[in-house]
Amino acid sequence: MLPQEIIRKQRDGELLSCDELEGFFSAFLHGDVADAQMSAFLMACYFSPLNMEQTLAITEHFLRSGTRLDLAAVQGALVDKHSTGGVGDKTSLLVAPIVAAAGVKVPMISGRALGHTGGTLDKLESIPGFSTQLAPVRFMQVLERTGAALAGQSDDLVPLDRVVYALRDVTATVEIPSLIAASIISKKLAGGASALVLDVKTGSGAFIRDEARAFDLAGLLVRVGEHFGLRTCALVSDMDQPLGRAIGNWLEVVEASDCLQGAAVPDLMELTYALSGMMIHLGGKARSIPEGMEVAREMVRSGLAWERFLDIIEAQGGDTSFVRETLRYRNADSMVEVCAPHSGTLRRIDARMLGLLATEIGAGRKRNGDGIDPTAGIVLWKKAGEQVEADEPLCRLYSSSTEALVQYRDRALAAFDVGYGQPAEAPLILALVTPEGIQPWVSHHV
């Protein structure tokens, strides 16, 4: 196989056979296709999409590139959750302990920061000592002990996704539905889940911004999951403004910890309860999604979810004293306040602009293999729809990089649209997509 010939065929829209695709990806994993060649191939996939048969073939190939955890010995349903990627989306940190506390096991295989969006692994690793590289035996021990285990792709688990994912992160090749499906579904199958709840984002901060295309992606993910015997359903949710108020790894751990202890962050908790309710229902601990959502709320109200979070951190080697007393964490070296130029209503916050900015000031990677600054990120002081006075803070930027943070102030300000009149009301959760079809989400409200 000549790699350049495979790239050319994909570029020109010729149909590659499943064997050709598998051969190309295998060669990449074994170092016989260079990063530059895989990057060119991925870009060709953006312009000449893979079809369903090819998508299923690469999903299976990703899965077979490593071992598949056999969790048959673990009692009860195994339900995982995954998002297609958002800004400030720390729901995985919340749903894992909530759902585990409700008695449903959560074997979660997550990813790192991708493009302008954050990654659960990077967030968890900002907790001193926390390890997301768990050997299969340890993964199962943590799962048995705490009801949830959160790990990443490794040399054992979906190694092909690990290397392709890292390259997509830095080559503007994330926005490819077939690769998103292969990446997510192979991880979930490898982790041993029997059911999966997806959060498919739409809006400026999502990879697939257009609403109709986000629904197509949700449908594709559900079909690919179900094809492999994974019970799969998806929420389609709005990612036009960041979720919650914190963007950046440690900052998001702090916000998630606060919410598990009862802090009110309405949009973040609305989505958290919806996803948790679906997982608890799929896991057989509630007769309906609304009942599952009520169970989820009770897990937070009672403090059980917070205790479970601490158990998970401890079981994965993390130092819980930092999340118990978040002020113990080292501060970012610099902070810059971004203030409103005039008074008015905050009509919109561009999630994508802030996601890119957070990446640039250290919360994500610019090149494959770069380190991450756990303290870097953005805290929003205002959310869309709120009133602001002239010179009132809209957000704060944090970073420990040596670059002067003040140079980013104008770019941050450009993400905020302060004007007159309320923004149009838009629901956070648009719909539920199942193998049976699309249902409006409003019918699942308690």
Q: How far is the CB of 111 from ligand URA (least distance, A)?
A: 4
Distance CA 383, CA 132 (A): 32
> Angle at the Cα of 439 (from 243 to 98), degrees rounded to 5?
45
Asked about 258 being catalytic, the answer comes back as no
The residue written with tokens 């955890």 in the block is 69
Q: CA nearest 146: which of 190, 110, 101? A: 101
User: Which one of 105, 162, 168, 188 is the catalytic residue?
Assistant: 168
Nearer Cβ to ligand URA, position 59 or 257? 59
Q: DSSP states of 221-289 as a string? A: HHHHHHHTT-EEEEEEEE-SS-SSSEESHHHHHHHHHHHHTT---HHHHHHHHHHHHHHHHHTTSSSSH
- Kindly state the number of chain residues that form the binding site for ligand URA, as judged by CB under 6 A: 10
Region label for 303, one of left (φ > 0), alpha (ψ between -120 and 50) or beta (otherwise): left
The residue written with tokens 């309906």 in the block is 288
Contact of 227 with 56, CB cutoff 8 Å: yes
Q: How far is the CB of 180 from ligand URA (least distance, A)?
A: 4
What would you report as the CA-atom Rg of the chain, rounded to the nearest whole angstrom? 21
Nearer Cβ to ligand URA, position 84 or 359? 84
Nearer Cβ to ligand URA, position 59 or 334? 59
Question: What is the 8-class DSSP label of residue 54?
Answer: H
Nearer Cβ to ligand URA, position 32 or 155? 155
User: Which one of 61, 81, 82, 285 is the catalytic residue?
Assistant: 82
User: Which one of 183, 204, 334, 399 is the catalytic residue?
Assistant: 183
Asked about 82 being catalytic, the answer comes back as yes
Which of 55, 84, 257, 345 lies at the binding interface for ligand URA (CB under 6 A)?
A: 84
Which of 111, 191, 277, 318 lies at the binding interface for ligand URA (CB under 6 A)?
A: 111
- Please give the structure tokens belonging to residue 313: 């951190």
Q: How far is the CB of 110 from ligand URA (least distance, A)?
A: 7
Site for ligand URA in 163-222 (CB under 6 A): 174, 179-180, 183-184, 187
Beta-carbon contacts of residue 117 (< 8 Å; ≥ 6 apart): 85, 86, 87, 89, 205, 207, 355
Asked about 81 being catalytic, the answer comes back as no
- Which residue minimizes CB distance to ligand URA? 183
Work out the number of other CB atoms within 10 angstroms of the CB of residue 324: 13
Examine residue 114 and tell whether it contacts ligand URA (CB under 6 A).
Answer: yes
Nearer Cβ to ligand URA, position 179 or 412? 179
User: Which one of 80, 89, 156, 161 is the catalytic residue?
Assistant: 161
Asked about 168 being catalytic, the answer comes back as yes
Nearer Cβ to ligand URA, position 359 or 399? 359
Asked about 35 being catalytic, the answer comes back as no
Length of the chain (residues):
446
| Residues catalogued as catalytic | 82, 161, 168, 183, 187
**Contact positions toward ligand URA, by CB under 6 A?**
84-85, 111, 114, 174, 179-180, 183-184, 187
